[in-house]
């Protein structure tokens, strides 16, 4: 069970050929703290919420996931509006930031967590670049205010680490957490 309504996470699992059911977790996500801890805690709270709902589904694996964008130690959550998205994009311009993917799996064996970190470098963004991107509306519901798999790719000059972590689900960390997932 995927404890997330994220279409990106769904698409990644489908791409891998994994059978799963979507059961979105309805939790309030933490937005402050040490980025790695926040991502793992949010993922665990999502997984626990769905695991409690799904107690009847014996043998099921519940996967919680969370993505945090961090500029130094400051978390840039999903922007509340275009003005906040503008501030996030301006702050990320010509800088390297971290995308932290937190995972938590709950099954009959207990609860396990993992974290993945990808560094993303933005190119210098002009005011026109920022306004162009804001007009796409891709910033909505996106940690850090951008989507690398869409037009947000035009903002990025390079990455170091797992690209799919930036999209929303760190596959190497997932397979380390659930080694039998593809069996």
What are the structure tokens assigned to 42, written together?
């949010």
41, 66, 129, 137: the catalytic one is 66
Sheet holding 62-71, edge to edge: 74-75, 62-71, 96-107, 110-122, 156-160
Active-site residue flag, 66: yes
DSSP symbols for 141-178: T-GGG--TTTGGGGGEEEEES-HHHHHT--HHHHHHHS
Within a 10 A sphere around the Cβ of 124, how many other Cβ atoms?
Answer: 9
Catalytic positions are: 66
């Amino acid at each position: 069970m995927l404890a997330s309504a994220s279409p990106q996470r769904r698409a990644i699992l489908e791409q891998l050929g994994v059978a799963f059911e979507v059961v979105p977790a309805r939790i309030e996500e933490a937005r402050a703290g040490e980025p790695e801890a926040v991502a793992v805690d949010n993922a665990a709270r999502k997984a626990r919420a769905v695991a409690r709902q799904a107690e009847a589904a014996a043998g099921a694996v519940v996967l919680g996931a969370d993505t945090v964008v961090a500029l130094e130690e400051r978390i840039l959550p999903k922007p509340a509006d275009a003005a906040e998205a503008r501030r996030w994009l301006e702050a990320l311009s010509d800088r390297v930031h971290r995308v932290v993917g937190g995972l938590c799996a709950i099954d009959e064996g207990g609860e396990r967590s993992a974290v993945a970190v990808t560094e993303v470098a933005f190119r210098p963004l002009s005011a026109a670049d920022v306004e162009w991107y804001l007009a796409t509306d891709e910033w909505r519901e996106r940690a850090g205010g951008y989507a690398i798999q869409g037009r947000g790719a035009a903002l990025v000059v390079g990455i170091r680490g797992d690209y799919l972590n930036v999209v929303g689900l760190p596959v190497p960390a997932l397979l380390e957490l659930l080694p039998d997932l593809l069996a």
